[in-house]
Structures are given as C-alpha cells and as structure tokens.
A = this chain, B = another copy of it.
Amino acid sequence: MAKYANVSVATVSRVLNGTGAVADQTKKAVLAAAQKLGYSPNLLGKNLRQKQTRVILVMLSSLANTFCSKVVHGIEKEAVKNGYNIMICATEDSRKSEETYLNFVRNKMADGIIILNSTLTEEEMKEISSAFPVVQCSEYVDTQTTPYVSIDNRAAAYDAVSCLIHSGRKKIVYIGVANDLISSRLRLEGYRKALEDNGIAFDESMLLFGNYGYRSAMRAVNNFLKKNIFFDAVFAISDRMAAGAISAVRQSGRRIPDDVSVIGFDNTDITYMFEPAISTVAQPQNEMGEAAFRMLLSRMQEEMPKNIILDHKLILRNSN
C-alpha cells in the first residue's frame, strides 16, 4: 500500500488519521491508492501500538433475558457517544466461558468490561477488578473495589409487597430463585420486612422457588396448591414467574386478582401481553446501562466511581 502510493507508511498513517501535516497532492495520492487497493488499516497493529482498542465487553448470562436487552441498549448508546464500541458475551453461566471473556480484557483485546451477571465470588471479583477496569450493572457482589449501578432491590420488593398488604392481602406467597444473586437475597429480605412491618408473621412455607421461567413457577405453584394452604397474593421476582403463577392459580379455579393478587418484577413485554396485564416493578434499564458505561469510562481513566442506586417504580396493571 505504502509502496503503491510511493510514500512511507508514516505518511499513509498520517493521511488516514488526519494527523500531522501532509501536502494536498500526496494526500490525494494516498487516498486514491487506498481506494484502489481497498486498503483498510489492521486494528491489531493499531491497537497494539496505541495500547487501547476502544472496545468494551458486556457480559451477561443469557440473551434470552429480555431485561438485559434494554440495559445493553443503554450501555451501547452511551458508549457510541464516547467513541467506544461494545461486544456482548453470553456466558450461559459457564465458568469456562466467563473466564474466556474476562481474559479478553485481561489480555488487551478490550479496554474494559461491564458485568450484568456472573457466578464470580467476591474474591474473584476483587482479583479481576485489580487487574483491569470492570463495573457491575444490575446484579453485583459488594466488594469495595468493584463499583456497581443497580436499584434498591430490598426497597423495591418491600414496596411491591406493601402494596399487596395495603389492599388487604395477608397471605402472600413469595416466588424466587434459589441462587446467590444479590437481587434474590435482597428481594426476599424486602418481602420479609414488609410482612414484619405490617404485623404479618413470616412463614417459610410460603416461599417457593423456580428458575425465573414460566414453567418453573407454574410447577411450584401447582405443588403448593396441593397442600391446600390458603393464600391471597403472590409476589414473584420475575414477570415470567408471575405469569406462571397466574396460570397455575387460574387452573385451580381461583380468579385473578379477586382471589389472588399477583405482582411480578422487571416490567418485561410479557406484562402487557398477558391477560390479565401483570402488575410489576420497573427498573430504569436504560439509565442503568448509561450509568454503567459512564462509570466504566471513569474507571478506565483511573478514577474510582461511587456506586449508584437508581429509582425503581411500581407499575400497577390488572393482576392486583
């Protein structure tokens, strides 16, 4: 390419990057040559030399999680605004996969990473956080070293359950997921606190568990129904589980929301497609993504941003 245009590689670089002075005539020659040869500079060389790629990774466990999609969109918008590009890595919660993608940034193929969810322990998170720029978004482990943006999951669950209670419900089933995610823990805490604050005894047998999915909740509620324990409300930590609960409850002949009130979580599309439309807790996904990117940006500039907690919002539809 350089030889073809009869200039040095330095000049080619200068022309293509618009850096440094170069005569109009040679500039034209270089551009013409580039055009003719279909030349396009090798990013590996460029990034190696410049010690940056302007690529950041977004790690999430599954694409099927529609909640994440809006968060990612927020990240992307802010990234592009700042001249960065994002690449999405779906780990399916595989350790090996997580390791692989973390190594991409450890090994300089990307400048930083935003983790939406992972199976990383506090120790591991600390380790990688000291090795390269990382921020957490939505889910997080609370080390002092890895900043995060999220909502107050405890308060969100508290609000949802309180809403159920204030409309007269007293026997409230909780449908969660038996994992270690911070959201699971805090939402259960919020549920529990709402009960306590309203003088309702916490009852472990009212806790059901699934895997965020429709079918798992349906199964759990069906099993629960067999026990003939009275209940008049359900708080589910995902909308799909709320939908599953509604279906199971209905099949048993009970009416929604008259007999059983239901509130879900995340305000995903299913909430308005379902009949009845599902009441839910909305998170500011876009802002969360935007904030996450801004935090990563400052981390990449060697600053340590403060954690951010954004506001959630209870959205009431027809299931409660």
Contacts and interface: CB of A to CB of B under 8 A. Distances in A.
A126 interface: no
Interface stretch (A24-32, A67-75, A220-228): A67-75
Contacts of A90: 72-73, 76, 88
Contacts of A72: 63, 90
Nearest to A63: B69
A100 B274 CA distance: 38
B40 A106 contact: yes
Contacts of A48: 42, 44-45, 48
Contacts of A80: 97
A69 B76 contact: no
A169 to B, nearest CB: 24
Interface of A: 38, 40-45, 47-48, 53, 55, 57, 62-64, 66, 68-70, 72-73, 76, 80, 85, 87-90, 92, 97, 100-101, 103-104, 106-109, 131, 214-215, 240, 243-244, 247, 269-270, 272-275
B62 A69 contact: yes
B88 A88 contact: yes
Contacts of A63: 63, 66, 68-69, 72-73, 88
Nearest to A109: B43
A76 to B, nearest CB: 7
A269 B214 contact: yes
A102 B88 CA distance: 15
A88 B59 CA distance: 10
Which 10 A-B pairs rank lowest in CB-CB distance, beginning with the nearest?
A63-B69, A88-B88, A87-B87, A44-B48, A43-B107, A64-B69, A43-B109, A214-B273, A42-B108, A44-B108
Given A63-B73, A214-B272, 20 more contacts: A38-B131, A40-B103, A43-B104, A44-B107, A44-B109, A47-B109, A48-B48, A57-B87, A63-B69, A64-B69, A64-B269, A76-B92, A80-B97, A85-B104, A88-B88, A109-B109, A240-B273, A270-B273, A274-B274, A275-B275
A82 to B, nearest CB: 14
A103 to B, nearest CB: 7
9 contacts: A42-B107, A44-B109, A47-B109, A62-B69, A63-B66, A63-B68, A88-B88, A88-B90, A240-B273
A103 B39 CA distance: 12
Given A72-B63, A273-B270, A275-B247, A43 B89 contact: no
A88 B269 CA distance: 22
